Amino acid sequence: MTGREHGRLRRHQGIRQRVRGFPQRPRMCVFRSHKHTYVQLVNDLEHKTLLGRSTKDATLRDKLSHGGNILAALALGRLVAEEALKQGITHVVFDRGGYRYHGRVKALAEAVRQGGLKF
């Protein structure tokens, strides 16, 4: 594990101590890789994933040329917001996963907000 990844995991642990997801307000956690972006809505009380989407999904793969850029994060944010609203989820707690609120993470968060979720 590199020093950069170790630092991110340490920051993520600190965030997880403060941020909890509940059934009426799940935790929206983000993971980035070089090629893709992943989002999960998690109920931490029951240890269940309510919704999980990534840029690898078939609905987005056909529309995107590359899954690891800002355009892909925007499309993923819109998809997550749409599917969360279908499940009756209107509020979430944002867990940026130790990443800076910049670039793909920021684009994803803004797209989710524009899609109708509040956090």
Tell me the CATH number at 34: 3.30.420.100
Q: What is the largest CA-CA distance in the chain?
A: 40
Structural domain that includes position 100: 3-115
**In the structure encoding, which two tokens stand for residue 52, read together?**
């999980």
The total domain count for the chain is: 1
| Tens of pLDDT, residues 75-93 | 999 999 999 999 999 999 9
Yes or no: say if 83 and 51 are a contact pair by the CB < 8 Å rule. Answer: yes
| Tens of pLDDT, residues 24-37 | 899 999 999 999 99
**E strand or H helix at 22, and its extent?**
none
User: How far apart, in Å, do the first and last CA atoms of the chain sit?
Assistant: 32
Q: Tell me the pTM.
A: 0.88
Yes or no: say if 18 and 95 are a contact pair by the CB < 8 Å rule. Answer: no
**Segments in 1-119 forming alpha helices (H):** 3-18, 58-61, 70-86, 104-115
